[in-house]
DNA sequence: ATGACGATTCAAAATCGA
């Protein structure tokens, strides 16, 4: 095999893999990704619908799930190597799993939401989120060099740019868009020179969302989304970037997740 | 627009998400 194959990767906060198993089939039909990174599977590994996912075309699976909360997974058409579960918060809360597929390190990451009060002194959940981001930065810098082919994707629960929220000014004290979180996320990004793949395709001034609250009667009409889901690549993979899509139609699949799936296309390696 | 929703859990009201 002279050149690596093109690869389509997907990241999706599915908000319960068992409840939304039929939507995985729709995703497979609509987009046909080679690799699917899931977050919030809310499913202990022994109960994961492994046979159903295999039947959809994803026999290779890396799972880190628990009862009730969180949970991440990587589903793949191609073999997974070096499967690793990372526990940056030392709580065994199933937020990060990685594996190598077709020579590319792929990470499915679920950053803590952080609760309501944007003050780490008063809100331990927010303190945990900031500490988790700090630990991810140092952990990832030990795992990867900029010249490694790696993809970091998932629900980061931070909308870093003004164009990543519906109203930058109103959101400055709302968790997901506070300056301190954005600063912490920036340090994660700088730890390995990660490239924000979305903004290689969509100009930084253009509104972009991947999540819309369940609370709006009509999420599309309310138009108050945030870009909480991300896909980053190492500089080594930048030449292979060939497409980025927010599968907005997925927000309507019934019963909907509040997150839409993201798609990233990597071209075959010219070398 | 800090919520009018939704998922989960020793099963009703609480917790969490963001």
pTM of the model: 0.97
Q: How far is the CA of A157 from the C1' of B5 (A)?
A: 19
Long-range contacts formed by A169-177: CB under 8 A, 24+ apart: A171/A226, A173/A118, A174/A118, A175/A113, A175/A114, A175/A115, A175/A116, A175/A118, A175/A126, A175/A129, A176/A113, A176/A114, A176/A226, A176/A228, A177/A226
Q: pLDDT per residue over A226-270, tens digit each?
A: 999 999 999 999 999 999 999 999 999 999 999 999 999 999 987
Burial class (CB in 10 A: 0-12, 13-18, 19+), A201: middle
For chain A, the domains span: 7-266
Q: Distance from residue A115 (CA) to nucleotide B15 (C1'), in Å?
A: 12
**For position A3, what pLDDT does the model report?**
64
The reply to whether the CB atom of residue A67 sits less than 7 A from any atom in nucleic acid chain B is yes
Q: What is the pLDDT of residues A141-176, one digit of tens each?
A: 999 999 999 999 999 999 999 999 999 999 999 999
Strand B at less than 7 A from CB of A211: yes
- Residue A130 CB neighbour total at 10 angstroms: 17
Q: Tell me: pLDDT of A33 over 90.
A: yes
Q: Computed over its alpha carbons, how large is the radius of gyration of chain A?
A: 17
Cβ-contact A41, A65 below 8 angstroms: yes
pLDDT at A1 over 50: no
Determine the topology of domain A7-266 in CATH.
Answer: Deoxyribonuclease I; Chain A (3.60.10)
Residues of A 42-61 whose CB lies less than 7 Å from any atom of strand B: 42
Q: What is the mean pLDDT of chain A?
A: 96
A119: Cβ under 7 Å from strand B?
Answer: no
């Amino acid at each position: 095999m002279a050149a690596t194959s093109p690869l389509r990767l997907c990241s999706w906060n599915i908000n319960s893999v068992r409840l939304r198993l039929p939507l995985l089939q729709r995703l497979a039909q609509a987009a046909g990704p080679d690799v699917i990174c899931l977050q919030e599977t809310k499913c202990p590994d022994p109960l994961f619908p492994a046979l159903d996912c295999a039947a959809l075309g994803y026999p290779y699976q890396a799972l880190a799930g628990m009862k009730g909360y969180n949970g991440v997974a990587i589903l793949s058409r191609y073999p997974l190597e070096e499967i690793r579960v990372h526990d940056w918060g030392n709580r065994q809360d199933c937020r990060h799993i990685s594996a190598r597929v077709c020579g590319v390190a792929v990470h499915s990451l679920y950053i803590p939401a952080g609760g309501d009060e944007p003050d780490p002194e008063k809100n331990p959940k927010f303190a945990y989120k900031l500490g988790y981001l700090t630990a991810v930065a140092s952990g990832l810098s030990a795992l990867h060099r900029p010249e490694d082919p790696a993809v970091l994707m998932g629900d980061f629960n931070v909308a870093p740019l003004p164009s990543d929220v519906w109203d930058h000014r109103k959101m400055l004290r709302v968790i997901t868009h506070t300056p301190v979180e954005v600063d912490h996320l920036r340090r994660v990004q700088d730890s390995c020179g990660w490239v924000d793949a979305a903004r290689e395709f969509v100009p930084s001034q253009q509104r972009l969302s991947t999540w819309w609250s369940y609370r709006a009667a009509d999420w599309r009409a309310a138009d108050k989304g945030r870009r909480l889901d991300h896909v980053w690549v190492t500089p080594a993979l930048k030449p292979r970037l060939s497409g980025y899509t927010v599968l907005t139609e997925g927000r309507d699949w019934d019963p909907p997740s509040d997150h839409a799936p993201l798609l990233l296309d990597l071209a075959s390696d010219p070398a």
